[in-house]
Amino acid sequence: MDDSGDAALIARCLGGQQDAYEAIVTRYQRGLFNVAFRMLGNYEDARDATQNAFVKAYEHLNTFDPDQRFFSWLFRILKNECLNVLRARRPSQPVSLDMPSARGADPVEVRERQRAVQTALLSLSTEYREVVVLRHYTDLSYDEIAAALGIPATKVKSRLYTARQQLGELLMDWRVAR
């Protein structure tokens, strides 16, 4: 995600030019939505969480520290939205796994494997899932993930290691062969 020009757009938003925020949403919607989708496993929930995160970010834009990366700040807001969705789900409530294909039709086996990977992701605890999602589905570095999660980079690495161990066991039958 190229974040050049964010500061100018944010300054314009804070100066009262609302249309500048639409440019920010357009720039980050794909990245943020994919993170929400991988965290929640449900298209509608991901849409609501992403939308709420963007609205809350706009309302608190004056608290954004320009020394941080904007996506990291957005992620922290999104994470809270995702946690709200997860808390609202009753433990017994089954998650309907939406697996919309991005482009073109996939063979049945590929789709089944993707469903298994998403199910495995959802079976991780939130703290493990978020490091995997940020590491594999965004371009954030370890330091940026650490900043976004508010934990040391060493902790990010240890959580990622444990999470991958768990995923390795869960996906034993579905691993993509070399």
Partner 1 sequence: MTNINDPWPDDDVTRTLNDLPEVDPPATLAQDVMATIASRAAARTTYPPATSNKRGATMAKKVLWIVAATAALALIAMRLIGYPPVEKGTEATIGAAQRYQAQQVSNADVKTEDAQLQAFLQSDLFRQLATDKVAQQALKNKDFQKALQDASVRAALVSADARFAIAAAKKVASDATLVTSDAFRAALDAHAALKVAFESSPALRAALVSPDVVAAMSNASLGAVLARPDIAMMISQDAAAAKVLEAAQVQMDAAAVRYK
User: Interface with partner 1 includes 54 (CB under 8 A)?
Assistant: yes
Q: In the range 115-134, which residues lie near partner 1 by CB under 8 A?
A: 117-118, 132
User: Interface with partner 1 includes 7 (CB under 8 A)?
Assistant: yes
Residues in CB range of 41: below 8 A, 6 or more apart: 95, 97, 98, 118, 119, 121, 122
Q: In the range 73-112, which residues lie near partner 1 by CB under 8 A?
A: 100-103, 110
Following DSSP, what letter does each residue of 29-79 receive, concatenated? HHHHHHHHHHHH--HHHHHHHHHHHHHHHHHTGGG--TTS-HHHHHHHHHH
Q: Rounded distance, CA 164 to CA 136, Å?
A: 11
User: Interface with partner 1 includes 66 (CB under 8 A)?
Assistant: yes
Binds partner 1 (CB under 8 A): choice among 43, 76, 95, 155: 43
**Measured CA angle at 121 (ends 166, 159), to 5 deg:** 50
Sites of contact with partner 1 (CB under 8 A): 7-8, 10-12, 14-18, 21-22, 25-26, 29-30, 33-34, 37-38, 43, 46-47, 50-51, 54-55, 58-59, 62, 66, 100-103, 110, 113-114, 117-118, 132, 135-139, 141-142, 164, 167-168, 171, 174-178
